[in-house]
Amino acid sequence: MQTYVNQKIKPITTTTNSKGNLEISGIDLTELAKKYETPLYVIDEVTLTKMANDYKEAFSKYEKTKMTFASKALMTSAIAKIFHNLGFGFDVVSKGEIYTLLNAGISLDKVSFNGNNKSIDEITFAMDNNIDHFSADNFYELEKLNEIAKAKNKIQKIHIRITPGIECHTHEYIQTGQTDSKFGFDLNMMDLAIEKILNEYKNLKLVGLHAHIGSQIFETSVYFDEVKILLEQIKRIKDKFNIELSEINIGGGLGITYTKEDNPPSVFEIADTIINSINIHCEKFGLNKPVLYIEPGRSLVCTAGFTLYTIGSSKEIKELNKKYIAVDGGMADNPRPSMYQAEYVAEIANAKTGENFEKVTVAGKFCESGDILIKDIMLNNPKQGDILCVYDTGAYCYSMSSNYNCVLKPAMVLINSGEDDIIVKRQTPEQLVQNDVIPKRYR
């Protein structure tokens, strides 16, 4: 049985070289750490491209598919350029993500603006740069979208985001499709929103519905149900308002394999489920087949990414039979274990003589007791100066990183078949304080 990218823990190019060191995409990780220092974010372009192409192949059976990368997972100018060159559009949630696209020379003609509290400045900036459409989240936003579009003499294309009432078996903080959510219109309020668009907001053009049911999804059936609910609503809207919406956005959410206990479906499995649901329910409801937007994020970049750390101090608590090892990063470059109790797999990247595995807890360097990256992991004789490779950090690590304790943010390197390129420079002390201002009375 074939294993696909999101079902693997390590990048697909991972191997051990003749020196006994870990190697990914033809790059010795110990040499990479020496060249760029640690902590270091690394993205394997081969793995990323393979996952992107798997998405394209899986959904090629449905010609009306529009693939958009959920930028919040990992947004840099280089990453944006890679996905643009692969034919992807983008789902954005801020002015900063839009600016990054523009900085990479990417137009907004395949971009959707999502989010529950877009500012006037963000809406204006997006419209000024000809964004394709907004996913409208609430009545306040509808009013402001129309107001700004009218002032610019534009007709702005929109989707309405709804909460379909589906709950996924995932962490409660990354469930977004259930009824009790800060996102979207519940089904009871959707009709009032449509009435306002049709009767009052003449500068808005409603073309579709958007829903997102969560993240780290391991069940294919929820996608089938989500499509069914969206098409049921399109049928009901058609009957009530005499308009047939032509687009649906089902979000993303496909899970990836962080640990051996995880068992996500492949992108081919969810594609078959989604397409099958479209075919069944369009025929059942007498609808034209809609344009399908899908916005993967984590599943595109997570497996391709890993982080390199240098091991420093250690501490043994003999009465508890416990050992801590500390690395030169932690919750500022990867807050997910502290926030979500996220679990990771890691291994020593430099060669070891023999095997002497011991159970340790990998701690970060930050001044918080909760700054623990990995609890109770078996590592081969970890020592000061060893390079630790933590897998599956491509999504939501750089994006959520901070300067806690005034620690500088790491660099990011893109590797591909023996080549390495810096795509995010390591932050400097000067950059850390460049926006600080001391009032004149203290000078």
**Residues with catalytic annotation?**
367
Query: 82: closest CA among 43, 54, 39, 112?
Result: 43
d(CA 407, CA 409) in angstroms, rounded, equals 7
Token duo for residue 247: 């687009």
Q: Taking a C-beta distance cutoff of 8 angstroms, is the pair 42, 413 a contact?
A: yes
Q: Taking a C-beta distance cutoff of 8 angstroms, is the pair 6, 303 a contact?
A: yes
Q: Cα 203 to chain center, whole Å?
A: 32
Q: Show Cβ contacts of residue 59 under 8 Å, excluding neighbours closer than 6 positions.
A: 65, 67, 271, 274, 275, 292, 294
Q: Taking a C-beta distance cutoff of 8 angstroms, is the pair 368, 338 a contact?
A: yes
Query: 336: closest CA among 291, 391, 296?
Result: 391
* DSSP letters for 132-189: SEEEE-SHHHHHHHHHHHHHTT--EEEEEEEE-----SS-GGG--SSSS-SSSEEHHH
Q: Taking a C-beta distance cutoff of 8 angstroms, is the pair 165, 213 a contact?
A: no
d(CA 94, CA 183) in angstroms, rounded, equals 15
Phi first, then psi: give them for residue 348, nearest 5 degrees. -70, 130
Q: Taking a C-beta distance cutoff of 8 angstroms, is the pair 241, 209 a contact?
A: no
d(CA 230, CA 10) in angstroms, rounded, equals 35
Query: 266: closest CA among 240, 243, 291, 296?
Result: 296
**Torsion angle of alpha carbons 292, 295, 299, 300, nearest 10°?**
100
Q: Taking a C-beta distance cutoff of 8 angstroms, is the pair 72, 100 a contact?
A: no
